[in-house]
Structure 1
């Protein structure tokens, strides 16, 4: 009982501090570029016929000179019409190239292999990486480029999911919430992590670590290369603004959701210790609250629950407001129930000795 009380006190103080830092965070000034350097957008695509056209349409809307842009799409042995759809756009979009990936570079597989081969073909000094099911905003390139300084290795934007269903909306808030926690730490000037669907890596940093083919293989290749770039002494930046908010397709069902989150949890062991500790503390709330509920009065358990719900809801609301994302009180309450159920299920699911299945492959 004393341990539970101590944990809750520490949890609320920690969350209160994070909330205070987030609420009183100053908005960064608008980004502007004095010149437009050539940039490369690298997209790994595997069986993405349902999404690739929307992805490339968003890139067409980018507020960036098209003659300073090259887009390399790597078709990773798709069994659907992904390659054909991209090929059909080539006559109208001279900046677009579709590369058929038919083999693996030594030490790579999956997405890391595709990106490694695309990077070999890229001709610019700045690699923007996103996914084939992502729609980036018009200011994406300029906003991330605006963060590049001498010694910068990686700049990361934010992503959430679109969709009107309750499960879709919960996933959207989950992304905004988790990335908000990371941003509070990143705002203190310390490295946190990156996301392979919304990131910029400089050629200098990429080549310094040997690229995706030169680092240890990981199913979360983005986290792994971030870790290696930090080791080489490069700085990083994270941007939590509407100008870099990319939209992803939500996990269509709970099985896919579990596979996705298990893959992320596998990669989380490579996070900096302070970020890993923060997420472990947050994930431990309900495993500690449930036995506390069974061994105390319902009034005390309810009070502890309401304090957590209030702090978290305000934090999520601020996250949404930062990027002009609409939410409501009902969804904030449902989000708590979503976190309760998914946290407990994922903790058990993570330790089941099953291989991760992603994009039709097992890892």
Structure 2
């Protein structure tokens, strides 16, 4: 039983430290600063016909001078009518659009598509996002402000899920929100370990200086995390987080359990390949904490452990988890979903173990492509 107490105490200490880092991270508010920075927004897409109309409408509504940004849309061999939708929009849009067809040269088509577009980008600052995203009208203004007020060359931005309509999606939202809490907490502690490619900005010269995604094209995912690691090695003081409500990019939760499992296996594959020891240890600690909770629960049912032991462990875990998730929900203005945290927290340990076991036995399928990891 001692190991159970050691694990939960370590977990409480580590998550408490991340909570401190979250509060330490400065929250920026939007000011009336003249737009000056020029952006190239890079968006790869594959079979996104369902999501592209919302994305394109959101881009059209950005409250930023049209002459200060361009949009590069890269068709990654879509099998649906995504390309037709994009081409139709370009003909009726006031935004400077460039449509490209990706030519993949590695096992990571997304990195190849991003590289192709970034090399053709005309502006100093690159922002990458995904085709299933929408933005605040002041998204680019928040980046402009941050760049003018900070010495940044790499900026990680916040990502949140759009309003879920039933518990399966609420579960994903809460799980994803906990990752946002950890991400911001790590930046607040000056120990960044992850970011999200749906909202990342960096200087084109930095990308070229770091040789882009070279060295990581053997892994399908991780365009965001591995570039972050390179930027940190180059100059960690020029890597920052944009903690601004107007900088949030909204994406959608998946709609089937099969897709959710594939998505989480894809995310887990990045953690196993990262060079960050802290990231790996944190992932292992979270998995162990959830695994031991399941063992305690099952053990208490068959009288191997007492209910009191289960109660102590559960209480400590839930309290610290609730604080981390609540502060992230507050920042994202999604605190209305906090009432579902207790149910999500009971389900999540089983889900995380299930994903962990599956990730040991092969690859996954994403966007109609099979990947190994």
**TM beyond 0.5:** yes
Q: Does 1:335 align with 2:355?
A: no
In the TM superposition, what is the alpha-carbon distance from 1:13 to its structure 2 partner? 2.8
Contact 1:192 1:271 in 2 (8 A): no
In the TM superposition, what is the alpha-carbon distance from 1:161 to its structure 2 partner? 1.8
When you count helix as a share of all residues, which structure comes out higher? Answer: 2
Q: Which of 221, 224, 231 does residue 222 from structure 1 map onto?
A: 224
In the TM superposition, what is the alpha-carbon distance from 1:16 to its structure 2 partner? 3.0
Contact 1:160 1:173 in 2 (8 A): no
- Summarize the Cα distance change of 1:191–1:286 in structure 2 as closer, same or farther, 3 Å threshold: closer
User: Which residue is 2:305 aligned to?
Assistant: 296
Q: Distance in 1 between matches of 2:204 and 2:259?
A: 33
- Summarize the Cα distance change of 1:51–1:290 in structure 2 as closer, same or farther, 3 Å threshold: closer
Cα RMSD after superposing both structures: 2.2
In the TM superposition, what is the alpha-carbon distance from 1:193 to its structure 2 partner? 2.1
User: Which residue is 2:279 aligned to?
Assistant: 275
In the TM superposition, what is the alpha-carbon distance from 1:357 to its structure 2 partner? 1.5
User: Which residue is 1:41 aligned to?
Assistant: 41
Q: How does 1:46-195 map to 2 (within 5 A)?
A: 46-101=46-101, 103-104=103-104, 106-107=105-106, 109-148=108-147, 152-162=152-162, 163-195=164-196
Q: How does 1:210-359 map to 2 (within 5 A)?
A: 210-212=211-213, 214-217=214-217, 218-219=219-220, 220-233=222-235, 235-269=238-272, 270=274, 272-293=276-297, 294=299, 295-352=304-361, 354-359=362-367
In the TM superposition, what is the alpha-carbon distance from 1:346 to its structure 2 partner? 1.1
In the TM superposition, what is the alpha-carbon distance from 1:186 to its structure 2 partner? 0.4
Deviations 1:139-171 (A, max 9, x none): 221223333377633211111222211111111
* Uncovered stretches (5+) of structure 1, i.e. residues with no partner: none
Q: Distance in 2 between matches of 1:158 and 1:271?
A: 23
Q: Distance in 1 between matches of 2:21 and 2:191?
A: 15
* Uncovered stretches (5+) of structure 2, i.e. residues with no partner: none
Deviations 1:105-164 (A, max 9, x none): x44641111111111221001111000001121222122333337763321111122221
Q: Distance in 2 between matches of 1:94 and 1:271?
A: 43
Deviations 1:205-248 (A, max 9, x none): 11102223x34303222222222222323521123332122111
Q: Distance in 1 between matches of 2:312 and 2:261?
A: 31
The SS at the match of 1:232 is helix
Contact 1:182 1:275 in 2 (8 A): no
1 or 2 for the larger relative contact order (CA 8 Å, sep ≥6)? 2
The SS at the match of 1:308 is helix
The SS at the match of 2:49 is coil
The SS at the match of 1:99 is strand
Q: Distance in 2 between matches of 1:46 and 1:355?
A: 20
Aligned residues: 360
In the TM superposition, what is the alpha-carbon distance from 1:286 to its structure 2 partner? 2.2
Q: Which has the larger displacement, 215-224 or 25-34?
A: 25-34
Q: Distance in 2 between matches of 1:330 and 1:102?
A: 44
In the TM superposition, what is the alpha-carbon distance from 1:37 to its structure 2 partner? 2.2
- Summarize the Cα distance change of 1:30–1:188 in structure 2 as closer, same or farther, 3 Å threshold: farther
In the TM superposition, what is the alpha-carbon distance from 1:342 to its structure 2 partner? 1.3
In the TM superposition, what is the alpha-carbon distance from 1:323 to its structure 2 partner? 1.9
Contact 1:180 1:240 in 2 (8 A): no
Contact 2:155 2:242 in 1 (8 A): yes
In the TM superposition, what is the alpha-carbon distance from 1:71 to its structure 2 partner? 0.5
